[in-house]
Amino acid sequence: MAPIASTNELILVESRSMRDQTIERTDVLDKVKTLVTLPNGFHVTTPMVATYFEVPVKTIESVVENNRAELEERGYRVLRGEELKEFAAPFGGAANLGLHYNARSLALFTRKAVLNIGQLLTKSEVSKAIRTYLLDAEEAQRSPQFQIPSSFAEALELAAAQARELEQAQAALAEAAPKIEAHDNLIQYGANRTIGEVAKELSRPERKIMESELRRLIVHEWKWAFTKARQCGSTQYTPYADKTDYLVLGEEKHPHDTRPNCWHATMRITPKGREAILRKLDRQKAGPAISVSSRTIAPAPTEAEIFQMIRRGA
């Protein structure tokens, strides 16, 4: 990557408040360079982060060591023991995550944590580009154009016009709210949907599909995912390694006030998974052909037998 001209981008390195103001702009990561994640689309390992920023792994580890508390607020964490085994299981084991088979720990970054590294790292042209993007966007938001009235009458007219514009904008926003929510979901999750959303989409008047029933099919009948109770009492749904084309874990971290180390992510169904579900439901609706032996069908009674039944009062 070509060197970037020196700007005031270092203010993000020096100012925690500025980093807090821009930490939600994870979209900047892919504007600068494509960020490769693990197959769940949620986590990034330390070597992946180093590759993204084009620096040695030791450089990333040094940034983490100096800013660990802040990074943990952005989703950075280290897995060990049973938690590591549980995380690696859907991927087919630790080896498929680039770890030695007996590795004892694995550091994971969320997209926010990767962006946080970009805010702090000074030895990378990629991180400089990220900080420049963030500051340019922040500056654009802070630089509105003001119209200064030249008379009291003009000021009143301007105020009335602004009031009308505000009212129209609020009405338009209320009307567009469902579309905005759908667009935000598309940006954040792509075409992936929750189990409840897919159940609602696939339900028909002649075939109602409840979310609980779809969960049962996915976990117990089709064996696409497994469940495990978290410390908080909630159930974590995780796809098996050979079903990650159908199911993924979304980038939603659910903290708990009483259990700070407990987390779980929402499992979502991909478009390919939705089509597979539809095919299975259609096959179940059709059902297997029923083979009936001729011996199970009673022959029609003769006239004499009918006469005897009438006499007996049958």
User: 106 and 94 in contact (C-beta within 8 Å)?
Assistant: yes
Pair 88, 204 in one domain: no
Q: Residue 1's pLDDT band (boundaries 50, 70, 90)?
A: very low
- Is the pLDDT at 289 greater than 80? The verdict is no
Helix residue spans in 97-210 (DSSP H): 111-120, 125-142, 152-189, 195-202
Count of beta carbons in the 10 Å neighbourhood of residue 111: 20
Same structural domain for residues 171 and 240? no
Element (H, E) at 20: helix 16-22
On whether the CB atoms of residues 223 and 280 are closer than 8 A, the answer is no
Residue 273: CB atoms within 10 A of its CB come to 23
- The domain of 224 spans 194-286
Judged by phi (left if over 0) then psi (alpha if -120 to 50, else beta), residue 228 lies in: beta
Residue 20 belongs to some domain of the structure: yes
| 77 plus 29 within the same structural domain | yes
Same domain, 181 and 215: no
Query: 301 in a domain, yes or no?
Result: no
Structural domain total, the chain: 3
pLDDT tens column, 114-149: 999 999 999 899 999 999 999 887 776 665 555 676
Residue 216 counted as domain residue: yes
CA within 13 Å, CB half, 114: 30
Report the distance separating Cα 114 and Cα 116, nearest Å. Answer: 5
Q: Are residues 183 and 198 in the same domain?
A: no
Residues 101, 119, single domain; the answer is yes
41 and 115, same structural domain? yes
**181 and 200 co-located in one domain:** no
- Tell me which of 228 and 121 has the higher pLDDT: 121
Alpha helices in 23-151 (DSSP H): 27-32, 46-53, 57-66, 68-73, 81-88, 111-120, 125-142
> Are residue 16 and residue 68 in the same domain, yes or no?
yes
Q: What are the structure tokens assigned to 144, written together? A: 């509105």
234-255 mean pLDDT: 78
Rounded distance, CA 11 to CA 4, Å? Answer: 16
Tell me: the pLDDT tens digits for 188-220?
445 788 898 888 888 877 778 899 999 999 999
3-state secondary structure of 268: strand
